[in-house]
Copies of this chain bind each other. A is one copy, B any other.
Amino acid sequence: MRDAYTDELDAIFDDLAAISRQVQVAVKDATKALLTGDSSIAERVISADAEIDRAREKVEENAFSLLSLQAPVAGDLRTVVAALRMVAELERMGDLSVHVAKVARLRVPDIAIPTDVRPTMERMAAVAEDMVSRVTQVIADRDVEAAIALGRDDEEMDQLRRTSFTELLSDDWNHGVEAAVDIALLGRYYERIADHAVSVANRVVFVVTGHHPAPAA
């Protein structure tokens, strides 16, 4: 059943998917800057964040005008309120990519990640990027099954964080305090990006089904 504002609701979700794509580029580029020590890529992530902020404002204005002019109820109201929350989380994921890029920039021309712990950090970055890529599709397709699967896969990120702490707190650690602190904070940023991706996916489940997904076992 289509009603007066279904098109506008769809447009908001299209805008959210577009922002999620921008975040995906930000995560990918921030990781590239981090792993190559390329300051121009880091700068690109930092300056591109203003576009994500503007896109967020546009979604907020549209949602606000929809609430104001159409006074949606029930499922449609739930959708608009969820969109407001999702856009805040997507913007935050962009900010976290900027934090990663800033750590990379701070260490140029060096690379913040010592070679022997690079695999864990690369995998963490890859998991985060994959989750953002999948949440983009979840938003675009309102795909409940993919959203639920995304929540389950967050477990790998938790495991990687534990591995990373084991590495940098081991007696063999010989890269000093600065590298350890960088890695702890970078791990935190990627973990938060993944957390937000799961949260956005859960909101899509709620919008589509009217129920929150069961927490992962």
What is A's interface to B at a CB cutoff of 8 Å? 64, 67-68, 71, 73-74, 77-78, 81, 84-85, 88, 165, 168-169, 173, 177-178, 180-181, 184-185, 188
Measured between alpha carbons, how far is A64 from B75 in the docked complex, in Å? 11
Most buried by B among A81, A173, A177, A184: A177
- One complex includes copies of this chain to the number of 2
Closest to A73 in B: B68
A84 interface neighbour in B78, B84, B177, B184, Cβ under 8 Å: B84
A64 interface neighbour in B77, B165, B180, Cβ under 8 Å: B77
Main secondary structure of the interface of A (DSSP, over half): helix
A184 interface neighbour in B64, B77, B184, Cβ under 8 Å: B184
Beta-carbon contact of A68 and B64 below 8 Å: no
Shortest CB–CB separation between residue A88 and chain B, in angstroms? 7
Contacts of A74 on B, CB cut-off 8 Å?
68
Contacts of A184 on B, CB cut-off 8 Å?
181, 184-185
Beta-carbon contact of B88 and A64 below 8 Å: no
Contacts of A88 on B, CB cut-off 8 Å?
85, 88
Given contacts A67-B81, A68-B74, A169-B178, 20 further A-B contacts (CB under 8 A): A64-B77, A64-B78, A64-B81, A67-B67, A68-B77, A71-B71, A81-B84, A85-B88, A168-B177, A168-B181, A169-B181, A173-B177, A177-B177, A180-B180, A180-B181, A181-B181, A181-B184, A184-B185, A185-B185, A188-B188
Measured between alpha carbons, how far is A71 from B77 in the docked complex, in Å? 10
Measured between alpha carbons, how far is A216 from B169 in the docked complex, in Å? 39
Shortest CB–CB separation between residue A114 and chain B, in angstroms? 13
